[in-house]
Structure 1
Amino acid sequence: MIPVTKPYFPPIEKYQKYLSDIYQRQWLTNSGPLHQELTQRLEDYLGVQNLLLVSNGTLALQVAFKALGLQADGKVLTTPFTFAATPGALAWEGLKPVFSDICPKSFNLAAGTLPENGNFSAILGVHVFGNPCETQAIQAYADARQAKVIYDAAHAFGVTQKGKSVLCAGDASTLSFHATKLFHTVEGGAIVFRQREDFERAKQMINFGLDSHGIPQTIGINAKLSEVHAAMGLAVLDDIQRITERRLAIVNQYKLNLQGCVGFQHWQEGASINGAYMPVVLESEADINRCVKNLQEEQVYPRRYFYPSLNKAPAFYQQSDCSNSESLANRILCLPLYTDLSTQEVDRICHILKSGLSS
């Protein structure tokens, strides 16, 4: 069986070494030594400052909204072509997601798709499949409306744009370190803030709002990352170069095999590729259904990221013009991609897919 993704497991000896340190110190949570080490190593690796580790990527979004002062009932412009956590985190915080259509080539919010009118307290962009948004255009759009800019960068671990981390764009960028991601801590996430004061505010928020004397100075929540999760993150980070190189090799193999048969995402100029996902675009939903059926019959399980377009989903339904997102959601398929997927398995997947397209 070939699933759409599979978590990366570092060598057990490496993970046990970090766990042994936890047992020695008997420090399980509350910003322990491994938490601090992972924070510093991630800042160095990613080329960022003000990185705050949290317990998952959804809480990363929610804490970012709070730290940036977004008020309940505020309208936030966002994309319908994303995972449910993006607008779900907004709604959970009492904010109102307003969907704007996407660019059919980049799959992202783009300058040409943003509405001319509307009063928004923030723009929440998504670097879909790791492809950076048009960050300068979105920033200019937000500045003209005195709105905050937040990026859901769950897919964009390690991505740079013109030599600079894409996580530096906007007022805050959030990461997911879920087990299925390129880099993971089993469960976890992070927020990268532009301003130090926003970082400090969020740092207090994720520990129940307590100050250095243990007194609650603000309303907070428990969103801390444990030492056990940090240990997994450090063990995975030790292997991140090999992980990324292998995933990129698989992506290139897919593209060579499928060139001329399917459509590919148009990548932002000057941006690096991290091999987070392998999306392909087909001509019709009928093609999607036939290819999925053929693949599943051969024990290969791709996934329709992101289906349906969220403006059509019951939880987020809106009467909005998102025809590009709706069309793409009906025709896109993410193929299996994980570190130990073999060259032979990729060739086999491509053969099945092409057979489905020719039938």
Structure 2
Amino acid sequence: MINVTKTYLPPLAEYTAYLEGIWGRNWVTNHGPLAQELEEKLKVYLGVKHLFLVANGTIALQIAIKALGLRGEILTTPFSYVATTSSIVWEGCQPVYVDINPRTLCLDSTLLERAITAETTAVVATHVYGNPCEVEAIQLLADRYGLKVIYDAAHAFGVQLGGQSILNFGNVSVLSFHATKLFHTGEGGAIVTADDELAAKISSMANFGHDGPERFLGLGINGKNSELHAAMGLCVLPKVAELIKCRQELSDLYDQLLQGHGLVRPDISAETTYNYAYYPVLFPDEEKLIAVIRDLNAQQIFPRRYFYPVLTDLNYVQPQPAPVARSVASRILCLPLAHDLTACTVHQITTIVINCL
């Protein structure tokens, strides 16, 4: 069975060596030495100032919203994973959807200004499939209207724009380290910011509000991650460059084999150092997409309609028009991409796809 992606697991002996240290120290959670080590190594690897390891990418987004004191309306994308919207609603804010750019599939910055009202407090935008948003245009509007900016960078581990980490844009960026991601800790995530004051607030909020063992700065939640997860991250991090190289080679092969068959790929700017997190393709219509899924599934190959449906269709938000996102969601499919996918399998997948077109 071939799924849309596959978790990279390091050699068991490498992970076991970390486990022996955990057993020896009997320190399993509460910001242990491995969690601290992973945070420091990630800050260096990603080129960021402050990074906090947390339990998952969703709690990272919820803490970011809470730490920035957001309320009222938040402008966001209708084309993302459900957690982007659910976190906004969970924190008592109202998502206002701004349609996407049909080429990059990220939030369309040219549509932002007309959506701003007196109740707007922030923008939460997703670097879709790791493809950077129009960060400069978004920041200009945010500065003009006094808005905060959070980037959902769940897919953007290691991505750079103009030679610097994409995580350095906006007030906060959040990452997912779920097992399906390029870099993972099994379950996990991180919050990134360059703001010292905000960093201190996030650090406390992610640990019940603690400021030392017997003092509390304010409201907090349990966002911590464990030594067991940090150990996995420390095993995976040295392999990331190799994993990206494998995925790039497979993506290039997909490009070569699918060229000239009417499929469209998202535009990625020349200034972007990409991480090849996913391999999405846009079909001419939904019928062809469904036919491809049917024929691939018959061969035990399971791509994913990622993201589908559009977030405006969730039953806990007000319906809002997003014609571009709706069209894209109906026609986009992520084909299998993983570190150990073979060229032979890519040939098999593309043959099935082409035969359905």
Once the two structures are superposed, residues 137-180 of structure 1 have per-residue CA deviations (whole angstroms, 9 ceiling, x without a partner) of 00011111101000000000000001000000000000000000
Find the aligned partners of 1:222 and 1:115 in 2 and give their Cα distance.
36
SS of the equivalent of 1:324 reads helix
Residue in structure 1 matched with residue 91 of structure 2 by the alignment: 93
Residue in structure 1 matched with residue 44 of structure 2 by the alignment: 44
8 Å contact from structure 1 (residues 170, 194) kept in 2: no
Residue in structure 2 matched with residue 313 of structure 1 by the alignment: 314
8 Å contact from structure 1 (residues 100, 115) kept in 2: no
Residue in structure 2 matched with residue 342 of structure 1 by the alignment: 342
Moved more, 109-118 or 13-22: 109-118
Residue in structure 2 matched with residue 113 of structure 1 by the alignment: 111
Please state how far the C-alpha of 1:317 moved relative to its aligned partner: 4.3
8 Å contact from structure 1 (residues 55, 189) kept in 2: yes
Gaps of 5+ in 2: none
8 Å contact from structure 1 (residues 306, 329) kept in 2: yes
Please state how far the C-alpha of 1:37 moved relative to its aligned partner: 0.7
Find the aligned partners of 1:182 and 1:316 in 2 and give their Cα distance.
31
Structure 1 counterpart of 2:57, one-letter code: G
8 Å contact from structure 1 (residues 110, 137) kept in 2: no
The count of residues paired between Structure 1 and Structure 2 equals: 354
8 Å contact from structure 1 (residues 80, 310) kept in 2: yes
Please state how far the C-alpha of 1:6 moved relative to its aligned partner: 1.2
SS of the equivalent of 2:354 reads helix
Structure 2 counterpart of 1:267, one-letter code: I
8 Å contact from structure 2 (residues 75, 115) kept in 1: no
Structure 2 counterpart of 1:280, one-letter code: V
Structure 1 counterpart of 2:194, one-letter code: R
Please provide the CA RMSD for this pair.
1.0
Residue in structure 2 matched with residue 145 of structure 1 by the alignment: 145
Structure 2 counterpart of 1:308, one-letter code: P
Please state how far the C-alpha of 1:315 moved relative to its aligned partner: 3.3
Residue in structure 1 matched with residue 247 of structure 2 by the alignment: 247
Q: How does 1:119-138 map to 2 (within 5 A)?
A: 119=117, 120-138=120-138
Once the two structures are superposed, residues 90-128 of structure 1 have per-residue CA deviations (whole angstroms, 9 ceiling, x without a partner) of 100101111110000000012223242422100001000
Moved more, 164-173 or 320-329: 320-329
Residue in structure 2 matched with residue 66 of structure 1 by the alignment: 66
8 Å contact from structure 2 (residues 48, 194) kept in 1: no
Find the aligned partners of 1:275 and 1:117 in 2 and give their Cα distance.
32
Find the aligned partners of 1:159 and 1:118 in 2 and give their Cα distance.
29
Moved more, 108-117 or 80-89: 108-117
Structure 2 counterpart of 1:14, one-letter code: E
Residue in structure 1 matched with residue 303 of structure 2 by the alignment: 302
Find the aligned partners of 2:314 and 2:122 in 1 and give their Cα distance.
22
Moved more, 167-176 or 260-269: 260-269
Find the aligned partners of 2:115 and 2:202 in 1 and give their Cα distance.
31
Give the TM-score of the pair, scaled to structure 1.
0.97
Counting aligned pairs with the same residue, the percent is: 46
Q: How does 1:149-298 map to 2 (within 5 A)?
A: 149-261=149-261, 262-298=263-299
Please state how far the C-alpha of 1:66 moved relative to its aligned partner: 1.1
Find the aligned partners of 1:24 and 1:317 in 2 and give their Cα distance.
53
Once the two structures are superposed, residues 169-205 of structure 1 have per-residue CA deviations (whole angstroms, 9 ceiling, x without a partner) of 0000000000000000000000101201111101111
Find the aligned partners of 1:11 and 1:129 in 2 and give their Cα distance.
28
Structure 1 counterpart of 2:93, one-letter code: L
Residue in structure 1 matched with residue 351 of structure 2 by the alignment: 351
Residue in structure 2 matched with residue 76 of structure 1 by the alignment: 74
8 Å contact from structure 1 (residues 295, 349) kept in 2: yes
SS of the equivalent of 2:235 reads helix
Structure 1 counterpart of 2:36, one-letter code: Q
Find the aligned partners of 1:68 and 1:109 in 2 and give their Cα distance.
21
Find the aligned partners of 1:174 and 1:284 in 2 and give their Cα distance.
33
Find the aligned partners of 1:191 and 1:284 in 2 and give their Cα distance.
38
Find the aligned partners of 1:264 and 1:343 in 2 and give their Cα distance.
20
Structure 2 counterpart of 1:327, one-letter code: S
SS of the equivalent of 1:123 reads strand
Give every structure 1 segment of 4 or more consecutive aligned residues whose post-TM-superposition deviation is greater than 3 Å. none
Moved more, 208-217 or 267-276: 208-217
Give the TM-score of the pair, scaled to structure 2.
0.97
Find the aligned partners of 1:250 and 1:96 in 2 and give their Cα distance.
40
Find the aligned partners of 1:286 and 1:316 in 2 and give their Cα distance.
28
Once the two structures are superposed, residues 281-323 of structure 1 have per-residue CA deviations (whole angstroms, 9 ceiling, x without a partner) of 00000111111111111111101011111112333342x2311
Find the aligned partners of 2:270 and 2:160 in 1 and give their Cα distance.
11
